[in-house]
Amino acid sequence: MGASPRSVTWRELVDRTATKTGMSKAQVDRVLEAFVEVASDAITAPGSVKLKRIGTLAAEWRCGRVLRSPRDQKRMFLDGRFQLAFRPSESVKQGLASRSPQLWKSPEHQGAWRLAETLLSDLELYHPDKVPKAITMDTPDAEIGGVCESAFGVHWRRVMKAWEDGVPEAVRQSRDHLAQCARVRWSGRRG
């Protein structure tokens, strides 16, 4: 993948824009401040702002919903509200896609993912009491196999055999779908 993400500060935005336009930094700062004020007013109306070659910012309604309180886990109702949504332009989508892995387009990777899901579903179905509780979203792929082997024992070794027999090594080397599926399935499990 590319370089790690970095935010552009307001000052850097002003500096870069002043350099590109030949305007003074003070002028650019005033123009950008005015733009932000006009755009904010348009969005909170509620409406939208179309940014040429970037995308559209819009206020979108999110319906009320029932959820659990993080404090005491009791069910509660959260009112509906407007929230900011961003729909990127086609050029932004293409730019982001070019920086992102596109393994989902590969039939071999889709097959590997389906096999991983099936194998883990079978483990959950037949051995629900052994599902590991030590996996988090931060657990590295390299550690997940060991955690699963400790939890499932011989059953995990059978899963690994089916995995190795069913997925070409090149696919296994480029992405560990088995570890990713285990992380997504079991990282939220507690008690």
* pLDDT at 64 > cutoff 60: yes
Q: How far apart are CA 19 and CA 28, in angstroms?
A: 10
Domain ranges, ordered by start, for the chain? 10-99, 103-186
- Tens of pLDDT, residue by residue over 1-20, are 445 568 899 999 999 999 99
Give the CATH number of domain 10-99; options: 3.10.450.240, 3.40.50.2000, 3.30.450.20, 4.10.520.10: 4.10.520.10
Q: How far apart are CA 124 and CA 157, in angstroms?
A: 15
Instruction: State the amino acid at position 3 in one-letter form.
Output: A
For residue 109, the number of C-alpha atoms closer than 13 Å in the C-beta half-sphere is: 12
CA 162 from chain centre, in angstroms, equals: 29
pLDDT band at 70 (very low <50, low <70, confident <90, very high): confident
Q: How far apart are CA 151 and CA 162, in angstroms?
A: 18
Share above pLDDT 90 across residues of the chain, in percent, rounded to a whole number: 81
pTM for the full model? 0.57
